[in-house]
Chain A
Amino acid sequence: DGGITQSPKYLFRKEGQNVTLSCEQNLNHDAMYWYRQDPGQGLRLIYYSQIVNDFQKGDIAEGYSVSREKKESFPLTVTSAQKNPTAFYLCASTDGGGTEAFFGQGTRLTVV
């Protein structure tokens, strides 16, 4: 079945650590996105990529980094510069044609 796989489902980060969230899709979509979801807030865009080896900052990119070396993969690194990383992180993809976005099942990151 085609879809988006995020891993791990739960992740714990110690102060000062960098952690990487995985996102893989087998939908052959060109565009991929990372959103952050906090209680009582709408999803906010962190980074997006419309093509391999190219990506752009979203609205809240500070403290995060990404790469897009393969069409299928768009990992997100939460760096130690992100001061409030506890949140639910969602990866999505689209075919770039303005149609619906498909989402993964999310990664819940907690700082311990």
Chain B
Amino acid sequence: EDQVTQSPEALRLQEGESSSLNCSYTVSGLRGLFWYRQDPGKGPEFLFTLYSAGEEKEKERLKATLTKKESFLHITAPKPEDSATYLCAVNKGSTLGRLYFGRGTQLTVWP
């Protein structure tokens, strides 16, 4: 069965303390891996798409990487405004655009 697993479920960091979030997947025929940020009571906001192993993308304090089995979202020197739930999703390509989501990592950054 295809699966997307995110870890940890929750992460508390002090401001400036860098860390990584993990997304492991077992889907076949990966067509893309997506990272989203979700604030409480809001819809997910797109961050990155990764298509092939070895690919990396960066945006401000965030950097996403992809291997054949997992993706990491690295957060460098986080700030309190980075606090949110980070969602990982994959597209298998059997139905273009249809996403399979992990349960998310709830990140809290305290001053």
In A58-112, which residues have CB < 8 Å from any B CB?
A: 58, 90, 92, 94-106, 108
In B3-35, which residues have CB < 8 Å from any A CB?
A: 4, 31-32, 34
For A95, the closest partner residue in chain B by CB is B97
Map CB proximity to B onto A24-60 as digits: 1 under 8 Å, 0 otherwise.
0000000101010000111111001010000010100
How many chain A residues touch B (Cβ–Cβ < 8 Å)? 31
Chain A residues with CB under 8 A of B4: 42
How many chain B residues touch A (Cβ–Cβ < 8 Å)? 26
- On whether the beta carbons of A31 and B97 are closer than 8 Å, the reply is yes
Closest chain-A Cβ to B86's Cβ sits at a distance in Å of: 12
- On whether the beta carbons of B91 and A41 are closer than 8 Å, the reply is no
- On whether the beta carbons of A98 and B46 are closer than 8 Å, the reply is no
For A99, the closest partner residue in chain B by CB is B49
Report which residue of B32, B34, B96, B98 has the largest number of chain A beta carbons within 10 angstroms of its beta carbon: B98
Supply 6 A–B pairs (Cβ within 8 Å), ascending by A: A43-B44, A43-B89, A56-B95, A94-B97, A101-B34, A103-B45
Top-10 shortest CB links A-B:
A94-B97, A42-B101, A103-B43, A43-B101, A31-B97, A100-B46, A42-B103, A105-B43, A103-B44, A98-B96
